[in-house]
A and B are shown apart, each in its own frame.
Chain A
Amino acid sequence: MEGEMATTSSLTSRDSIDLGELRKKPRIGETIIQSLLFLCGVISILTTIGIVYELGKESLAFFTHQMWEQTNKSLTVGIDESVTTFEVSRSGGVLEVGDTLRLSDEIVMVSSIEGTLLTVERGVQETAAVPHSAGVEIFRGSYVSLVEFFTGTEWNPQISKFGIWSLVNATFMTSLIAMSVALPVGLATAIYLSEYASLRARSILKPIMEVLAGVPTVVYGYFALTFMTPLFRSWFGVDTVQIFNTASAGVVVGILIIPLVSSMSEDALHAVPKSLREAAYGLGATRLETSLRVVLPAALSGITAAFVVAISRAIGETMIVAIAAGAGPAFTFNPFDSAETMTGHIVRISGGDLSYDSIDYNSIFAIGLLLFFLTLSLNIFSQRVVARFREVYE
Chain B
Amino acid sequence: MMPNDPNQELETGFPEGTDLEKYIIKRHRTGVGLKLSFQMATLVGIIALTALLYNITNQAFGLVAVENTIPPAEVVASIGATGELQDLSKDQLIEILQANISTGLGRRFERDQRFYEDSYAFDTEAKYQASCASAEPAAGCSLPARDRDNVYQLVLSEVVEPEVVQTWSLMDSLFSRGEVLAEAEAKYPGSEVYFRSWLTADFLQRPQSSNPEFAGVRTAIFGSLWVIFITILFSFPVGVGAAIYLEEYAGASFINRLIQTNINNLAGVPSIIYGMLGLAIFVRTLEPLTSGALFGGVDPTTANGRTIISAGLTLGLLILPIIIINAQEAIRAVPSSLRQASFGLGATKWQTIWHHVLPSATPGILTGTILAMSRAIGETAPLVVVGASTFIVVDPDGPFAKFTTLPIQIYQWTSRPQDEFRNIAAAAILVLLVLLLSLNATAVLLRNHYSRRAA
Q: Spell out A's residues near B (CB within 8 Å).
A: 1, 4-5, 27, 29-30, 33-34, 36-45, 47-48, 50-51, 54-55, 57-58, 184-185, 188-189, 191-193, 196-197, 205, 208-209, 211-212, 214-223, 225-227, 255, 258-259, 262, 286-289, 292, 309, 312-313, 315-319, 322-323, 343, 346-347, 350-351, 353, 356, 364-365, 368, 371-372, 375-376, 378-380, 383
Contact = CB atoms under 8 A, between A and B. Distances in A.
Interface of B: 27-28, 30-31, 34-35, 37-42, 44-46, 48-49, 51-52, 55-56, 59, 237-239, 241-242, 244-246, 249-250, 256, 258-259, 262-266, 268-277, 279-281, 284, 317, 320-321, 324, 346, 348-350, 374-375, 377-381, 384-385, 387, 390, 407, 410-411, 414-415, 422, 425-426, 429, 432-433, 436, 440
A50 B277 contact: yes
A292 B31 CA distance: 10
A376 B270 CA distance: 9
A217 B27 contact: no
Contacts of B349: 30, 34
A323 B320 contact: no
Given A196-B38, A218-B411, A227-B51, A48 B433 contact: no
A270 B353 CA distance: 33
B139 to A, nearest CB: 26
Contacts of B45: 185, 189, 205, 208-209, 212, 255, 258-259, 262
A54 B28 contact: no
B246 A41 contact: yes
A41 B242 contact: yes
A379 B52 contact: no
A220 B48 CA distance: 10
Given A208-B45, A316-B270, A44 B381 contact: no
Contacts of A322: 381, 411
Contacts of B346: 1, 4-5
Nearest to A29: B350
Contacts of B34: 288, 292
Nearest to B32: A288
Interface core residue of B56, B237, B384, B440 (most chain A CB under 10 Å): B384
B290 to A, nearest CB: 15
A214 B370 CA distance: 12
Contact of A214 (B30, B348, B440): B440
A268 to B, nearest CB: 16
A51 B42 contact: no
Given A185-B44, A380-B265, A222 B432 contact: no
A36 B429 contact: no
A83 to B, nearest CB: 43
Nearest to B381: A318
Nearest to A57: B280
A226 B34 CA distance: 33
Contacts of B239: 40
Query: Which of A50, A58, A216 is packed against the most chain B CB atoms within 10 Å?
Result: A216
Contacts of A376: 265, 268-269
Nearest to B250: A41
B270 A317 contact: yes
Nearest to B306: A353
Contacts of B276: 54-55, 346, 364-365, 368
Given A36-B241, A40-B241, A323-B411, A45 B277 contact: no
Contacts, number: 251
A50 B35 contact: no
B48 A205 contact: no
Contact of B265 (A27, A315, A379): A379
Nearest to B234: A43
Interface centre among B239, B258, B284, B380 (most CB of A within 10 A): B380
A180 B238 CA distance: 39
Taking each of B31, B45, B263, B266, which has the highest tally of chain A beta carbons within 10 Å of its own beta carbon? B45
A221 B414 contact: yes
B223 to A, nearest CB: 15
Given A212-B45, A222-B414, A368 B273 contact: yes
B270 A44 contact: no
The 6 closest A-B pairs by CB, nearest first: A316-B270, A216-B378, A188-B41, A40-B241, A37-B245, A288-B31
Given A41-B242, A188-B41, A368 B249 contact: no
B270 A315 contact: yes
A223 B55 contact: yes
Contacts of A380: 265
Given A219-B432, A288-B31, A40 B238 contact: yes
B272 A221 contact: no
A227 B55 contact: yes
A222 B58 CA distance: 13
Given A58-B280, A259-B45, A44 B263 contact: yes
Contacts of B40: 188
A43 B242 contact: yes
A76 B380 CA distance: 56
A286 B426 contact: no
B269 A51 contact: yes
Given A38-B245, A211-B49, A225 B277 contact: no
Contacts of A356: 284
A47 B259 contact: no
